[in-house]
Amino acid sequence: MAASTKPYLIRALHEWCSDNGHTPYIVVWVDGRTRVPKEFVKDNEIVLNIGYSATQGLKIDNEWLSFSARFGGVPREIAIPVGNVLSIFARETGEGMGFEVEPAEEAAPSGETESPRPEGESGPAGGARAHLRVVK
C-alpha cells in the first residue's frame, strides 16, 4: 500500500507559507489521540499556528505532527495524528488545502497509549471552509 500524500502536502504547504512570509495555520479534528490544549477546542476542532516563530521543535513526519508552544504563557507539548489535520492555510491570504479525516492505526508518539474515538463520534461536521483557496 502506498503512503498517504497528506503529510507530504502539509510539509510542502508549510514550506510554501514560510518561504513567502506567510503564517501557516492548521485546523485539526480533535479526538482521544490528539494532544492539544482542550480549553481552546471548539466543536471538536482547534486552529493552531505552526509557524517557526510560534513553535519549538516542529516535526511533521508521515504519521504525527508535533511541537512545543506557549498558550497563555504556559508551555505545552502538542501531538497530532497527521490523519486529523483538516486543513493547512496561510493566515494572511487564506490560501491552502483542505483534507478529510483519515483513520489511523499507528501508536501514539513517545510510547503513549492511544485512546479510541468515542462511540458514535463521527468526523467533522460541515463542508469545505469558505476562507480556503487552493494554492496554484
Q: What is the pTM of this model?
A: 0.77
Q: Answer whether residue 121 shows pLDDT above 60.
A: no
- Classified as helix, coil or strand, 109 is helix
For 90, counting Cβ atoms within 10 Å of its Cβ (0-12 exposed, 13-18 middle, 19+ buried), the class is buried
CB 88 within 8 A of CB 43: no
pLDDT class for 135, splitting at 50, 70, 90?
low
Q: Answer whether residue 133 shows pLDDT above 90.
A: no
Separation of alpha carbons 37 and 21, rounded Å? 27
The pLDDT tens digits of the residues spanning 68-106 come to: 999 999 999 999 999 999 999 999 999 999 999 988 664
Q: What's the average model confidence in pLDDT over 108-113?
A: 44
The strand pair at 64-71 and 56-60 is best described as: antiparallel
Q: What is the pLDDT of residue 52?
A: 96
CB 55 within 8 A of CB 16: no
Separation of alpha carbons 29 and 114, rounded Å? 16
Q: What is the pLDDT of residue 3?
A: 83
Q: Answer whether residue 30 shows pLDDT above 50.
A: yes
Q: What is the pLDDT of residue 67?
A: 98
All structural domains of the chain: 6-99 (2.30.30.220)
